[in-house]
Amino acid sequence: MSLLAQGEIRSYLNIPFQHTSPSILKLMKQPAAEHTMKRIKIWCEICSKIVSRSTFIVGFPGETEEDFQMLLDFLDEAYLNPVGCFKYSDVDGAKAND
């Protein structure tokens, strides 16, 4: 972190969260990322030059309105810019399609 704060290395983070709902992340077979956001917040406090980018998927099979609202609430608090959001689309052979 000290190298980041001194400008010795690039201050760009690309963290593909994909979603914030534990149930959707489990369906996606992705790890939960609750601790990652806490770390990003601390890093941003240490070095205000950090740019944190992420991508998310909405409309994943099984996603509820509650899951989607959890994602929106997360984005309100997140230190992320820019953010990409993509609508889920079926992929041949993917278990999520079942």
Determine the pLDDT at residue 9: 67
Q: Is the model more confident about 92 or about 56?
A: 56
Residue 92: pLDDT band with limits 50, 70, 90: confident
pLDDT tens for each residue of 14-73: 888 899 999 999 999 888 777 777 787 787 777 777 888 899 999 999 999 999 999 999
pLDDT of 2 higher than 70: no
Q: Please report, for residues 12, 26, 35, 44, 81, the alpha-carbon distance to residue 51 in angstroms, rounded to integers and kept in the order given.
A: 5, 27, 18, 8, 7
Is there a contact between 44 and 79 (Cβ–Cβ < 8 Å)?
A: yes
Pairing of β 83-87 and β 51-58: parallel
Give all domains of the chain, ordered by start, each with its CATH number. 2-88 (3.80.30.20)
SS (H, E, C) 61-87: CCCCHHHHHHHHHHHHHCCCCCEEEEE
